[in-house]
Amino acid sequence: MYEIKCLNKISEVGTSRFDENYHCSESVENPDAVLVRSASMHDMELPKSLLAIARAGAGVNNIPLDKCSEQGIVVFNTPGANANAVKELVLAGLLLSSRKIVPAIEWAKTLKGKGDEVGKLVEKGKGAFVGPEIGGKTLGVVGLGAIGILVANAARSLGMEVYGYDPYLSVDAAWGLSRSIRHARTLDEIYASCDYITVHVPLTPDTKGMINKESIAKMKDGVRLLNFARGDLAVSSDVISALESGKAAAYVTDFPSDDMLGVDGVIAIPHLGASTPESEDNCARMAAGELMEYLQNGNIKNSVNMPAVSMPRDCSSCSIRICILHRNIPNTISRLSGALAESGINIENMQSKSKKDYAYTILDVTGDVKETTAEHIQTFPEIIRVRILR
Ligand X SMILES: O=C(O)CC[C@@H](O)C(=O)O
Residues that bind ligand X (CB under 6 A): 37-38, 57-59, 82, 273-275
* Minimal distance, residue 8 CB to ligand NAD, in Å: 13
Residue 38 contacts which entry, ligand NAD, ligand X, none (Cβ below 5-8 A, type-dependent): ligand X
Which residue number, 59 or 298, has a Cβ lying nearer to ligand X? 59
H, E, C per residue of 4-68: EEECCCCCHHHHCCCCCCEEEECCCCCCCEEEECCCCCCCCCCCCCCCEEEECCCCCCCCCHHHH
Residue 37 contacts which entry, ligand X, ligand NAD, none (Cβ below 5-8 A, type-dependent): ligand X
Q: What 3-state class would DSSP assign to 351?
A: strand
Residue in 103, 161, 163, 151 with CA at minimum distance from that of residue 127:
103
Which residue number, 148 or 265, has a Cβ lying nearer to ligand X? 148
* Minimal distance, residue 155 CB to ligand X, in Å: 21
Which residue number, 40 or 180, has a Cβ lying nearer to ligand X? 40
d(CA 80, CA 204): 19
d(CA 198, CA 143): 9
d(CA 77, CA 37): 10
Taking CB positions, which residue lies at the least distance from ligand X? 57
* Minimal distance, residue 196 CB to ligand X, in Å: 21
* Minimal distance, residue 360 CB to ligand NAD, in Å: 21
d(CA 184, CA 265): 27
Strands, DSSP E only, in the chain?
Answer: 2-6, 22-25, 33-36, 52-55, 74-76, 138-142, 161-165, 182-183, 196-199, 223-227, 248-253, 266-268, 320-327, 346-355, 358-366, 383-389
Which residue number, 127 or 167, has a Cβ lying nearer to ligand NAD? 167
Residue 321 contacts which entry, ligand X, ligand NAD, none (Cβ below 5-8 A, type-dependent): none
d(CA 96, CA 91): 9
* Minimal distance, residue 55 CB to ligand X, in Å: 7
* Minimal distance, residue 189 CB to ligand NAD, in Å: 12
Residue in 98, 100, 118, 102 with CA at minimum distance from that of residue 110:
118
Which residue number, 83 or 345, has a Cβ lying nearer to ligand NAD? 83
128's enclosing H/E stretch is: none
**Footprint of ligand NAD on this chain (CB under 6 A)?**
57-59, 79, 82-83, 86, 142-148, 165-169, 173, 200-203, 206-207, 228-230, 254, 271, 273-274
Which residue number, 87 or 321, has a Cβ lying nearer to ligand NAD? 87
Which residue number, 99 or 271, has a Cβ lying nearer to ligand X? 271
* Minimal distance, residue 362 CB to ligand NAD, in Å: 25
Taking CB positions, which residue lies at the least distance from ligand NAD? 145
